[in-house]
Amino acid sequence: MNRRLLIAALVLAAVSPLPAQRIRLPASLSDLEQRAVKDSNDAASHYNVALAYLNAKRYDDAEQALRTAVAIEPKLAPAWLALGRLPFVRRQRLWDDIYTGNVPDEWRPRLRESDSHYRRAVLVDPLVDLRIEAVGRPGRSAFWISSENAQRLYDYFFRFLDDLLEGKYESAYGRLNQLIDEMPTAKEREGLPNFIFYYRGLAAAHIGRFNEAMADFNRLLARSLEHQNPDSLVYYLPLETNEYRYMLAVLHQRSGDPNEAIRLFRETLDNDIGYYMAHVQLASLYENSQMWPQAIEARRHAFNANPYDPSLILDLGMTLAKAGRWVEAEESLRQAQDANPRDARVPYYLGIVAQQIAKPADARAAFTRFLAIAPSRYDRQIADAKQRLATLP
């Protein structure tokens, strides 16, 4: 199999797509709607009902539910990914528009926003669950089921994407390995489009093969630095150089190499001081080593870089509390509560901090507020808050 055949397959992939996949849901639409009403401050409930709305083609309702989810929990990566793919759900032809270079003027702002949301999802969690992407991908062309030969060709070139969208990362990794290894020459192998190495790297990371994942992302980073972009005709990636550098840092972090992770996170910030999640990741690494001054500084930098994300001031408050700086922690948590009154985690931790600094009235008020707004899935914290309330003077 050579690159010319791959290009031909990519062209055929865009012909007469069948409908996109539906999302498997844990409950019916009506049940999920009821849960979202009952747990109105639960980001996960709004995300789940959004998926049901997508299945029902109620796209405006889906978008509203997704935006509510990320307003409550700005680090909910799957919701950002779903928002990033929503324009492709609304307009299945958008992939073809990109391929032909004829994106309608009225869709260009939506495509830019889509790219921004996709990058936000990857920023928050580079290993975000990819299954939500299934709704934004056109179904396979009718050509691929027209004969056994066409089916075999599809399995060879494109089944890996189905595997990824079904969470079958081991299978996807094996298929991509075979595709890459069977390129006749090193030149043809290196000429494969970015999305092949991107998805193999992601599949490898999801199954804990971090060395293989880092090799692929190092290749993507090098290509980006050299302004090489042999990208797919259909599956383009809205990522830039610093995203690949950041993802490499996360892979080193998860593989147990904190020193290289720190170096790469700092390099990411050298290229973009506003890359707030690199500050967040650095703070986590410093916390693991109980380097509290460095962790607190990183938390402050994260919030300064993105003051529109109230979860970052919550993070700062929790780190200050872990460091035993209770008064500063209380101040940060009160700021977090003012910025996002629907985040039930804030009054819970605020109550704990108030107990530590001997403010029983403030602790009672915080725990009472938490119990009034806490999602039902916070059962452990609810039980703990009730117990703490019972012991307050």
Q: What is the mean pLDDT of residues 43-63?
A: 94
The verdict on 23 and 118 lying in the same domain is: yes
Are 152 and 232 within one domain?
A: yes
Cα–Cα distance for residue pair 318/269, rounded to 1 Å: 23
d(C-alpha 106, C-alpha 113), whole Å: 12
**Banded pLDDT at 193 (limits 50, 70, 90):** confident
Lowest mean pLDDT among 17-21, 33-37, 79-83, 336-340: 17-21
The rounded percent of the chain whose pLDDT value lies above 90 is 67
Both 222 and 155 in a single domain? yes
Q: Which two tokens stand for residue 241?
A: 């150089």
pLDDT at 1: 44
In a domain, 31, yes or no: yes
Residue-level pLDDT at 89: 87
**Is residue 21 within 8 Å of residue 135, measured between CB atoms?**
yes
Co-location of 235 and 167 in the same domain: yes
Given 220, 239, 258, the domain boundary residue is: 239
Q: What is the pLDDT of residue 165?
A: 84
Q: Is the pLDDT of residue 172 over 80?
A: yes
The residue type at 177: N
Residue 150 shares a structural domain with residue 233: yes
Q: Do 26 and 69 belong together in one domain?
A: yes
Establish if 226 belongs to a structural domain.
yes
Instruction: Clarify whether residues 119 and 204 are in a common domain.
Output: no
Total number of domains in the chain: 2
Has residue 275 been placed in a domain? no
Output phi, psi for 17, to 5 deg.
-65, 145
Return the CATH number at 77: 1.25.40.10
* Termini Cα distance of the chain: 75
My answer on whether 116 and 44 are in the same domain is: yes
Domain that holds residue 69: 19-126
Among candidate residues 126, 152, 180, the one where a domain is terminated = 126
28: left (phi over 0), alpha (psi -120 to 50) or beta: beta
377 within some domain: no
The average pLDDT across 347-368 equals 97
Give the residue from 209, 239, 269 where a domain finishes: 239
* Same domain (yes/no): 161, 118: no
Residues 122, 61: one domain? yes
Hey, is 48 helix, strand or coil? helix
DSSP, collapsed to helix, strand or coil, labels residue 77 as helix
Q: Residues 353, 16: contact at Cβ < 8 Å?
A: no
Tell me whether residue 80 is in a domain. yes
DSSP state of 347: H
Quick one: 119 and 149 in the same domain?
no
What does the alpha-carbon distance between residue 50 and residue 82 come to, in Å, rounded to a whole number?
Answer: 9
Q: Say whether both 122 and 26 belong to one domain.
A: yes
Specify if 59 maps to a domain: yes
Q: Are 69 and 43 in contact (CB under 8 A)?
A: yes
Kindly state whether residue 46 falls inside one of the protein's structural domains: yes
Predicted confidence (pLDDT) at residue 7 exceeds the cutoff of 50: no
Q: How confident is the model at residue 307 (pLDDT cuts 50, 70, 90)?
A: very high
Sign of CA dihedral 152, 157, 160, 161: negative
Q: In this predicted model, what pLDDT tens digit does every residue of 211-229 receive, in sequence order?
A: 999 999 999 999 888 876 5
Q: Report the alpha-carbon distance of residue 249 to residue 88 in Å, rounded.
A: 30
Residue 283 lies in a domain: no
In this prediction, residue 136 carries a pLDDT of: 73
